């Protein structure tokens, strides 16, 4: 029999999935925003000092990793790319590299989702090491982060004038 606290974990997982890759009332989610984006559009930027879709994608993957690490209490340093937060990507990004970045995002989402599903409900109000907010806020915050960047990506796609 499910308990009220188990229902909270389910609700957090549903919220995370709606923001990432499930049909939701708000429109496109993060995975939907990058689906079908060609590499030329992924590297286009509206200004030299602004981020592109590829950078936003890797940034989102990194923060899914960071949230998972905090939830599980894992040590830093296991993200597949060197650095943190915003990454310097190859200037001449290839289509294969772009696909690898989208796969990285998918993998980090799956691992985060697993960490949330395994989280004891009693730990939801606890503040994990390296965080200023409790686990519940961390989880729905990462969903909000996905939606924020989905909107940015949709705007970049529109501004780029490229189909995709």
For residue range 67-112, list pLDDT tens digits in order. Answer: 999 999 988 888 999 989 999 999 899 999 999 999 999 999 999 9
Structure tokens at 101: 């970045």
What would the mean pLDDT of 39-58 be, rounded to a whole number? 96
* Element (DSSP H or E) covering residue 79: none
Going by pLDDT thresholds of 50, 70 and 90, the confidence category of residue 58 is very high
**By the 8 A CB rule, do 129 and 39 touch?**
no
- Counting Cα atoms < 13 Å in the Cβ hemisphere of 25 gives 2
DSSP state of 123: G
CA dist., res. 131 & res. 127, Å (int)? 6
pLDDT on residue 77: 82
């Amino acid at each position: 029999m499910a308990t009220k606290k188990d229902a909270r974990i389910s609700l957090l997982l549903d919220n995370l999935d709606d923001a990432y890759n499930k049909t939701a009332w708000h429109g496109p989610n993060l995975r939907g925003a990058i689906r079908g984006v060609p590499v030329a559009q992924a590297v286009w930027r509206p200004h030299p000092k602004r981020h592109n879709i590829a950078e936003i994608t890797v940034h989102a993957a990194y923060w899914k990793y960071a949230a998972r690490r905090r939830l599980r209490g894992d040590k830093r340093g296991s993200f597949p790319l060197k650095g943190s937060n915003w990454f310097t990507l190859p200037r001449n990004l290839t289509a294969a590299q772009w696909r690898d970045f989208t796969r990285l995002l998918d993998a980090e989402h799956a691992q985060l989702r697993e960490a949330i599903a395994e989280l004891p409900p009693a730990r939801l109000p606890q503040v994990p090491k390296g965080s200023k907010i409790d686990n519940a806020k961390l989880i729905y915050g990462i969903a909000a982060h996905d939606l924020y960047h989905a909107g940015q990506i949709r705007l970049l796609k529109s501004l780029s004038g490229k189909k995709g």
